Amino acid sequence: MSNINREYRNVYIHVPKTAGTTMERHDFIRGAGHASLQELSTDDNFDTSYIKWAFIRHPHERLISAFFYVSYPVLEQYYAAFGKDIKSEWVVKETRNLGLPWYKKEKDEFYNFVENLYEHRVFAQEYIHFMPMNYFLHHDEIELDFIGRFENLQEDWIKVKDLIRDNLESPMMKDKINHHGLAGKGTSPSGAKSNMKEYNDPGIVKMIEEIYKEDYEKFNY
């Protein structure tokens, strides 16, 4: 839910799978979708004096989280973009819980997906959760004021709140920001499959590092 909030004078870039669901509950954020900084900068409401911010996440962990987040139909379409039939690659049994897939051999399926992504490098808007983070945050002329890290979610949340508060003039608005705690506890959304230690085959790790090479280098992971 990337958003330009004129009332609270800030621009939030929602990189998928970086705790955006936790943040979107707050009035000074709100919004919908995953518009990039480049896209938002063309909006008539965009103002460079607003605090422009985002959160990032370790590319390996983010990919794991995205893979186990998207529905089976999305993965099926992605494999079609690879030029393959997902049913010939691995077996998934649908659950009744929001249509999310149940994985018989989830590690094997994840590794298979990474191998295909490495080979074909398919990145498109319809598969937004797998786009590199730099796609959302890059702009030739505009720099973000703050980039928080998922790994330091609690601490960096306080920092960005302070930046937004200090950029406001109204004492009442400043006070409202002070009362916004981070919804939820910990740094991992409930149910997220995001433990890199469980998906650490050396060959697969190297593929992920190559796929998201720009993210690793730009954001110092």
Per-residue confidence in pLDDT tens, the chain, 221 aa = 778 999 889 999 999 999 887 787 777 777 778 999 999 999 999 999 999 999 999 999 999 999 988 888 888 888 999 999 888 887 655 555 555 555 567 788 899 999 999 999 887 667 899 999 999 999 999 999 999 999 998 899 999 999 999 999 988 888 888 766 665 544 444 344 457 888 999 999 999 999 999 999 999 99
Helix, strand or coil for residue 3? strand
- What CA–CA distance (Å, rounded) separates 215 from 166? 30
**Single pTM value for the model:** 0.86
Nearest to 162 by CA among 143, 150, 146, 142: 146
Nearest to 46 by CA among 13, 23, 15: 13
User: How many residues appear in the chain?
Assistant: 221
Contact 52, 13 (CB under 8 A): yes
Q: Residue 135: phi, psi to the nearest 5?
A: -60, -40
What pLDDT score does 57 carry?
96
What pLDDT score does 71 carry?
82
